[in-house]
Structures are given as structure tokens and as C-alpha cells.
Amino acid sequence: MTIGVLGSGSMGAGIAQVAATAGHDVILFDKNPDALKRASDGLLKILNRLVEKGRIDDPTAKAIFGRIYFVDNTSAYKDCGLIIEAIIEDINVKKAVFEQLEDVVPEECILATNTSSLAVAAIASACDDPSRVIGIHFFNPAPLMKLVEIIPAIQTSNEVTEKCRKLIEKWGKLTVIAKDTPGFIVNRVARPFYGEACRIMEEGFADAATIDWAMKEIGGFRMGPFTLMDYIGNDINYKVTQTVFEAFYYDQRYKPSFVQKQVVDAGYLGRKSGRGFYDYSEGAVNPEPNKDMELGNHIVWRILVMLINEAADALYLRIATRDDIDTAMEKGVNYPKGLLKWADEKGIQHCVDTMDRLFDEYKESRYRCSPLLRKMAKEGRTFYQTQKETA
């Protein structure tokens, strides 16, 4: 099967590399010739680096690169069996692109979007045959991240869903199926990792360095939330939060933070701009964390229980299965363990009591306890008690 990738930014180029490595001819399109040149140079550099590290040999690198065709005309898509769109997160732009693609590609060609938060059903509605439209959400960098979320819209045929899942797994990826709801699994469940950390900072409870230290050294996360936001790009992370907040009809659980808005407004976008929550300029000295263990444990548990509550609600609302939710958070954002497993270890009743205490203190709906957690605590059940009951 010839694979089409639309958009030659870092995500599009990464997807093209994955598909070409799996043996496919790949048509990488971008209307901007300069962007195509950057993608070509970047891919060549990455492949040469893999050769230097001994990950692949030189003939393999040349073969992978030789299977990628850089084009600036979508007519090159006429023989593709699957096209994955990876362009700007703008629903109107994506709908226009998908409408145009239908005039070019064969009838059996599957049209996929790599959107991280937009409604796949809305994108599919632009097509005469929406049954062949699906979400295939890779994580950045696509060649390194194992997880891929497969998101069928209500219009997507079962055949297309299964075909895509099997294909992506052949590419060496780990797939999870997510309902077409805002943020899918990862970007929905992970919101409190950033949002509650910002809230703790806003309250003056702890600064960024202390929160990051606690989440990394005590919680076992690979990066603290502020380091991760700087790494992702505060503009990108803030935009995803805004999108999810609006898509959930302004549910307070997903409310964006003024702390993050301020750094975005100031142009402090993170590593890429040289400054974010931290200063990345040469010789910069950043604040040292307060390594008080009692404070650190309090920070970790407050953020963790919010994450657990969100994961439980995703299961309650049938966004995904128990196993897919835990797999997504472990493999998509490198959490130390699945949140539902973590809930079992901490104790379901303890989770409920903490959420109720936060709600009593703040009287805000962001701290409402998931009905599933409350029901499980009442019945004395755990998530991994039996496969039949909870999966």
C-alpha cells in the first residue's frame, strides 16, 4: 500500500519515516517547497544519525529515504490506500482539505486525521463518504513514541477501524481505541497534570521547581509538569487545553490557567523560545526546589488523585476500556504506571475522600468525584478485581 502524508512538519515527517521504515512508499505533501526541503534535510539527518548509532545500516537508511517522495501537488495521491493528515489544528482548514482529497484519491482510500483534540466526526462530515474517515493520532516524536490512538467517528465503518488498527500495529506501534470525544484518551486524562500543577502555583502553595521536583522524584514521573509544558511548547499545550475546555462546554475541570496564559502572552513558549517557566539561555540560573518531603507528598497526591479521577470518568463514560486507558497513559505520556492500577494501590475510598475534601474546601465543580469511583468505593470493588466486572 502506498501511504500519503499531508503536512511535512515534524509530525508529518515523523509519520512518513515510520511508514517508510515499515516498507511503504510514502507520498509526503506540502504546498510550501521550503517546508518540504526542511523535512527532506531533517529526515536525512535523522537517518544518518541512526546509522552512526548503529541502529540501522547505511543501505537500510538509503532505502527508507528512497521510499519517501516529497511532492507539492496532491495529484500524487491518486494511488494511495491511506492518507494521514498532519496539519494545523483548525477544524475549518482540515474539513476543506478532506473535501478536496476526495476528488483526488481512489474510492477505497482511507482518509485519516492526526488531530489531537478535534472532533473526527466533524472532519468526516466534509466528505461524501464519511465512512472511510478515521482518527489516527500519533504522539511526537512519531518514530520513538509507541502509542497510537485509533479514533473511529460515528460515521466510520468497522472495516476501516480494524484495517487501520492492524496496519498501524504492523508498523510496530501499540494501538488503543478511543471514543471520538474531546482529547480522546491521553489529552483528556492528562489535563490535570498541567492544570492542577498551575492551580497549586497560582495559590502560592509551591513554585514550578518544587512541583516538578515532587512529581519527578516522589511521583516517579519522567518530567515535572512545568518542564514538560516547556518541552511541548506552552503555546501548543495551552491551545489543546483551550480546545478541550471549549469542546466540553466550558466544564471547569478543563479550565485553562492564567499562569500558562501569561507565559504564552509574554512569548515565553518554552525551550523553543529560550524561555518558558524556566530560563534556557546560556548561563541562566533557575530557582532551586523546596525539597520538603511532606510538602512534596501533598503536591503529588493532589495532582495524582485528579488524574485518577479523570481516568475513572473516562472509563465511566466509555471513552475507552480499562486496559486501553492505562496503556495510553503509560505509553503515550510515559506515566510510571496506569492510573487505574494506581487507584487500586492507593485505595478507591482514599481517592473518593480526597476528592470530597477538595470539593468541600473549594466548592468548585472541577473537584467533583467521578460517579464510578464513588460507586466502586461503596461496593468495595477495585478496577483490577475481575476482568468481567471492570474491563
Rg (CA), the chain: 22
Please, which residues bridge with residue 175 across strands?
148
Contacts for 84 with CB less than 8 Å, ≥ 6 apart: 3, 4, 5, 6, 12, 15, 112, 113, 114, 136
Three-class SS state of 105: coil
Catalytic residue among 85, 149, 310, 330: 149
Of 8, 114, 117, 187, catalytic: 187
Helix (H, G, I), strand (E, B) or coil at 25: coil
| Active site annotation includes 350 | no
24 classed as catalytic: no
Which is catalytic among the residues 116, 234, 257, 370? 116
CB atoms within 10 A of CB 14: 25
- 92 as an active site residue: the answer is no
Are the C-beta atoms of residues 197 and 209 closer than 8 Å to each other?
A: no
Q: Are 74 and 99 in contact (CB under 8 A)?
A: no
CA distances from 191 to 64, 86, 117, 308 (A): 36, 22, 12, 11
Q: Which three cell numbers stand for residue 159?
A: 472495516
Catalytic hit among 137, 196, 257, 309: 137
Give residue 232's identity as a one-letter amino acid code: I
274: left (phi over 0), alpha (psi -120 to 50) or beta: left
Distance CA 290, CA 324 (A): 36
Distance CA 295, CA 215 (A): 11
Q: Are 237 and 243 in contact (CB under 8 A)?
A: no
Q: Give yes or no: 149 in active site.
A: yes
Q: At what angle do helices 293-316 and 339-346 cross, to 10 degrees?
A: 120
Residues labelled as active-site residues:
116, 137, 149, 187
